[in-house]
Chain A
């Protein structure tokens, strides 16, 4: 008797509680920024592409759905000539983001990726590259890399001494 009264009370109390269920899709859920949804390629604070086509995301990907190939821009930067993610295969594990040494590839909270055709789930670079920095603010890979590019000579990266003068006489 006491048992079912207590159960009735517990259930009844929910009538007055705040609802957790969201009426999706009429109401869009607010997901935390670290949720793992659609993948984007971000840019650094100067608006330059962050991806240097190192291929680490591709090899970290457990399903092998990322394909890219390296090219070199006129200023010496490496960049992906093509970058393709097959979202029909992607399992949104976030390993690519974890592996990325330049904070280029990031997962976003957008999970609405349903399509009628499989083709439409293959995202190419123009679909992936966004204008902003995403979650990682202020990071410029090229300013810590040792490779010289136009506008950043040897010795001009962070924590770099000026190039050694080999013909100098000092010990």
Chain B
């Protein structure tokens, strides 16, 4: 239902019951604010958003109210420009600034600071307060965030995000009145894997990105490009900012259906792997640096002799396609284990077949009952875990709505909701960070999880099942929007099938999320190809002599034995990568390629959404995009990204949606190309020794409608998929995003970016293939993911590495006792010594051994391992 209100003479249609501040902001009317946040709701703490409201046409006096705490009602007359209200706001900011230090020149926030924007907007420009400023001591909050408490204006956004929204416990408000302090009880690392968001949530410079501070450039000096996080299957949208050809900072890029306002720390700090010393920069033959020409000649010779290609779930769709084109579809293999390749293909099939609808993150938040099978969400797909924390509050919100409490009155909703929680059932092998919001946490080994899932499906179909499964089936059946989450992280196809069976039993009301292992796992699966074992067998069968490995540390993703067989069978191994890996070091020919921040391409995320990322940094000549390298080696005649996409959809018409992921390079806005650089970009003539302005003739970017210069369109003129920043006159911080949303928390203007490739009912679901038998003795191997580590790219980021825990090996104490192992014992797995000492974990499921994946062992299918004491 909509209401009509009048704001300074302008008649506005608003959603009934929305708060006045949201209405103003989404209609482009600037009202200063601090404590209000699109995702955190209204609090009324800062008193900054005062406006005058008149109750009706006869009311000539009106009254001053806080717009964030006032619902929009029909016929309301509002005056933002009212002199008394303006004066009120100016006095409030003067009072907020009383203790604010004279820090702007040495504050990272300055230039993109909400406090600066609001101070300028209210006209407060002279300090009248002559007394001493209150000061605070800072805390060391770990390697990711800086802390400068003097700058605080006590808006409480940090604790509301950290505690109420993200479920953190170790950040709090201390003290009283003007002494209030936001920090930890004592110095130490902020534990939440979402702590990095504080840098964006804080409207001043109290919390800031420490990595950015270390390699600092002001906002007005950085070019930014729209990008996609390459570190998990969710595909959160990012801004990647660079200066002097070096990526300095990653920030959230709002996406209504996906990441919204927040990222996880892996997404915020992980992409800085592109500036790590592990970057691979010079072509090598047999480990020795050679010229580009020699390396390319050697690679071409290897291809002419016949080669198979091994793709990668972390390379773009285009790069994988170029490789497939180069070697031929029958010689193209996915760079993962056979079992994973098969499992991800099956996930694609299930997602396409329906009947469950694939849930976006915003839909996850609206679900009213959730069953998680096997996935350790906080570590596998952290942003989904953050959404699930909002799902948990669904029952609370529903009760509050019943009682007539507006949804944006967040604190009131918490009180009125009486602490109710929507049912969330976690069935996982290891203790889970989401246990505190789960109504039931089951610790089961992977096979029991699958069996439990099957039992729920049986119960839903009316069959005989254990009580626990029947109860859960009843909850799911009674709910309006049940959600089933499963994935590939345990390597168990059984679990994915069980999830599909439950969704099939629930019918069309069910939502499903199947989490693939990596950013472009689904894209790779759409191109087909078996795994590394099949590739090794093909080489051994003399299908070809050589092998090309695309952006892949195979030792992470496939059993070591299979990769060693591959190396043994291949005459020449050609590796293309942006990072130095064991593969690139052992390869006969290694060629550097561009990282995701230097090239354009497409990732397909867990919902089958094709999303385009663009180069933030001009690519170096020695490291062109992978698909360009492959084109030069003979894959095709593609001068631009659009050309390769055209060939891709001609070859595979079902991927036609990829075109719609973002406008193509011919897209032109009112002011021409879209500028990555802010205006003015400082220092653009400082090195201009030849008398020409290099910024006037920036290098063209053939792969996108973006330009590296400062001429061009920006801000509201730009399609959502191409936003290079929230450029708005007078607003410089990330809070300006409200100008780009259709409504607060809704989609971006012009629709959320990305193109969904799967339509439910596209294909019928074939019956599940028989599961590979799990032979052998010993406990089941459970891979332990970690939000701060991820794959080899995540570990190459120095900031994430500083937060990553030591590799772990966990056993249940009873299992350990049965094996005769004590805490800290050295352990052998399948006869190979494990680098991590044994930790006893009483909350672990029985019959499993949990091992840090990637660091100690590669990913792989579910299997049993023999655990014994090291000799």
Q: Which of A52, A66, A86, A155 contacts B688 (CB 8 A)?
A: A86
Given contacts A54-B105, A145-B102, A164-B135, contact A67 B687 (CB under 8 A): yes
**Interface residue range, chain B:** 35 or more
Contact B220 A154, beta carbon cutoff 8 Å: no
Contact A161 B686, beta carbon cutoff 8 Å: no
Q: Which of A65, A145, A148 contacts B686 (CB 8 A)?
A: A65
| CB under 8 Å from chain A, chain B span 665-694 | 680-691
Q: Chain B 176-216, CB within 8 Å of chain A: the 1/0 string?
A: 11010100000000000000000000000000000000001
Contacting chain B: which of A11-19, A22-30, A37-45, A55-63? A55-63
- Closest A residue to B243 by beta carbon equals A69
Contact A146 B150, beta carbon cutoff 8 Å: yes
**B175: CB under 8 A from chain A?**
yes
- Closest A residue to B695 by beta carbon equals A64
| A155-B103 Cα distance, complex, nearest whole Å | 14
Q: Chain B 61-103, CB within 8 Å of chain A: the 1/0 string?
A: 0000000000000000000000000000000000000000111
**B218: CB under 8 A from chain A?**
yes
Q: Which of A64, A69, A122 contacts B680 (CB 8 A)?
A: A64
**B622: CB under 8 A from chain A?**
no
Contact A118 B690, beta carbon cutoff 8 Å: yes
Given contacts A54-B106, A118-B690, contact A166 B175 (CB under 8 A): yes
CB distance from A59 to the nearest CB of B (A): 5
Tally A residues with Cβ within 8 Å of B: 44
Contacting chain A: which of B126-134, B304-312, B349-357, B555-563? B126-134
Q: Which of A58, A59, A147, A160 contacts B132 (CB 8 A)?
A: A160
| A61-B683 Cα distance, complex, nearest whole Å | 8
**A34: CB under 8 A from chain B?**
no
| A68-B101 Cα distance, complex, nearest whole Å | 24
| A148-B111 Cα distance, complex, nearest whole Å | 21
CB distance from B86 to the nearest CB of A (A): 27
CB distance from A35 to the nearest CB of B (A): 23
Q: Which of B101, B683, B685 contacts A146 (CB 8 A)?
A: B101
Contact A69 B217, beta carbon cutoff 8 Å: yes
Contact A64 B218, beta carbon cutoff 8 Å: no
**B843: CB under 8 A from chain A?**
no
A-B contact count (CB 8 A): 132
Specify which chain B residues have a CB less than 8 angstroms from the CB of A138 in the assembled complex.
none
Q: Chain A 114-126, CB within 8 Å of chain B: the 1/0 string?
A: 0000110010000
Contact A146 B103, beta carbon cutoff 8 Å: yes
Specify which chain A residues have a CB less than 8 angstroms from the CB of B174 in the assembled complex.
166
- Closest B residue to A100 by beta carbon equals B105
Q: Chain B 122-161, CB within 8 Å of chain A: the 1/0 string?
A: 0000000011111111100000000010110000000000
Contact A145 B684, beta carbon cutoff 8 Å: no
Specify which chain A residues have a CB less than 8 angstroms from the CB of B132 in the assembled complex.
159-161
CB distance from A150 to the nearest CB of B (A): 14
| CB under 8 Å from chain B, chain A span 101-159 | 101-102, 118-119, 122, 141, 144-148, 154-155, 157, 159
**B221: CB under 8 A from chain A?**
yes
**A163: CB under 8 A from chain B?**
yes
Contact B682 A52, beta carbon cutoff 8 Å: no
**B104: CB under 8 A from chain A?**
yes
| CB under 8 Å from chain B, chain A span 59-108 | 59, 61-70, 78, 84-86, 88-89, 101-102
Contact B101 A67, beta carbon cutoff 8 Å: no
Contact B179 A164, beta carbon cutoff 8 Å: yes
**A3: CB under 8 A from chain B?**
no
**A32: CB under 8 A from chain B?**
no
Contact B682 A67, beta carbon cutoff 8 Å: yes
Contact A55 B101, beta carbon cutoff 8 Å: no
Specify which chain A residues have a CB less than 8 angstroms from the CB of B107 in the assembled complex.
147
Interface on chain A toward B: helix, strand, loop, or mixed SS? Answer: loop
Contact B681 A166, beta carbon cutoff 8 Å: no
Contact B106 A161, beta carbon cutoff 8 Å: no
Q: Chain B 271-296, CB within 8 Å of chain A: the 1/0 string?
A: 00000000000000000000000000
Contact B682 A55, beta carbon cutoff 8 Å: yes
- Closest A residue to B110 by beta carbon equals A54
CB distance from B272 to the nearest CB of A (A): 18
Q: Which of B104, B133, B177, B691 contacts A54 (CB 8 A)?
A: B104
Specify which chain B residues have a CB less than 8 angstroms from the CB of A69 in the assembled complex.
216-217, 244
CB distance from A155 to the nearest CB of B (A): 4
CB distance from A125 to the nearest CB of B (A): 12
Best-buried of B102, B130, B132 by chain A (most CB within 10 Å) = B102
CB distance from B204 to the nearest CB of A (A): 12
Specify which chain A residues have a CB less than 8 angstroms from the CB of B695 in the assembled complex.
64
CB distance from B823 to the nearest CB of A (A): 36
Contact B106 A164, beta carbon cutoff 8 Å: no
Specify which chain A residues have a CB less than 8 angstroms from the CB of B135 in the assembled complex.
146, 154-155, 160-164
Contact B150 A154, beta carbon cutoff 8 Å: yes
Contact B106 A163, beta carbon cutoff 8 Å: no
| A94-B160 Cα distance, complex, nearest whole Å | 45
Contact A55 B218, beta carbon cutoff 8 Å: yes
| A102-B104 Cα distance, complex, nearest whole Å | 11
Specify which chain B residues have a CB less than 8 angstroms from the CB of A59 in the assembled complex.
111, 218, 220-221, 680, 682
Specify which chain B residues have a CB less than 8 angstroms from the CB of A161 in the assembled complex.
132-135
Q: Which of B103, B130, B686 contacts A85 (CB 8 A)?
A: B686
Contact A122 B689, beta carbon cutoff 8 Å: yes
Specify which chain A residues have a CB less than 8 angstroms from the CB of B691 in the assembled complex.
88, 118
CB distance from A81 to the nearest CB of B (A): 10
Specify which chain B residues have a CB less than 8 angstroms from the CB of A171 in the assembled complex.
176-177
Q: Which of A84, A88, A119, A145 contacts B101 (CB 8 A)?
A: A145
| A58-B222 Cα distance, complex, nearest whole Å | 13
CB distance from A52 to the nearest CB of B (A): 5
CB distance from A145 to the nearest CB of B (A): 5
CB distance from A164 to the nearest CB of B (A): 5
Contact B682 A61, beta carbon cutoff 8 Å: yes
| A166-B174 Cα distance, complex, nearest whole Å | 7
- Closest A residue to B220 by beta carbon equals A59
Contact B684 A64, beta carbon cutoff 8 Å: yes
- Closest A residue to B103 by beta carbon equals A146
CB distance from A128 to the nearest CB of B (A): 12
Given contacts A118-B690, A146-B151, A160-B135, contact A52 B105 (CB under 8 A): yes
- Closest A residue to B151 by beta carbon equals A146
| A52-B104 Cα distance, complex, nearest whole Å | 11
Q: Which of A118, A157, A164 contacts B175 (CB 8 A)?
A: A164
Given contacts A64-B686, A89-B688, A118-B689, contact A154 B133 (CB under 8 A): no
Contact B110 A58, beta carbon cutoff 8 Å: no
- Closest A residue to B682 by beta carbon equals A58
- Closest A residue to B218 by beta carbon equals A55
Contact A119 B134, beta carbon cutoff 8 Å: no
CB distance from B105 to the nearest CB of A (A): 4
| A82-B723 Cα distance, complex, nearest whole Å | 32
Given contacts A118-B689, A146-B135, contact A58 B221 (CB under 8 A): yes
| A85-B682 Cα distance, complex, nearest whole Å | 12
Best-buried of A102, A122, A146, A164 by chain B (most CB within 10 Å) = A146
| A85-B689 Cα distance, complex, nearest whole Å | 11
CB distance from A37 to the nearest CB of B (A): 19
Given contacts A64-B680, A85-B686, contact A56 B150 (CB under 8 A): no
Contact A102 B105, beta carbon cutoff 8 Å: yes
- Closest B residue to A161 by beta carbon equals B132
Q: Which of A64, A101, A119, A155 contacts B685 (CB 8 A)?
A: A64
| A159-B135 Cα distance, complex, nearest whole Å | 10
| A161-B691 Cα distance, complex, nearest whole Å | 52
Question: 7 A–B contact pairs at CB < 8 A?
Answer: A59-B111, A64-B680, A85-B686, A101-B104, A118-B689, A163-B135, A166-B175
Q: 10 new A-B pairs (CB below 8 Å) besides A59-B221, A64-B681, A164-B175?
A: A54-B104, A66-B683, A67-B682, A85-B686, A89-B686, A122-B686, A122-B687, A122-B689, A163-B136, A164-B135
Which of B's residues lie within 8 Å of A, judged by CB? Answer: 101-107, 110-111, 130-138, 148, 150-151, 174-177, 179, 181, 216-218, 220-221, 244, 680-691, 695
Which 6 pairs between the two chains have the least Cβ-Cβ distance? A146-B101, A67-B686, A67-B683, A54-B105, A58-B682, A161-B132
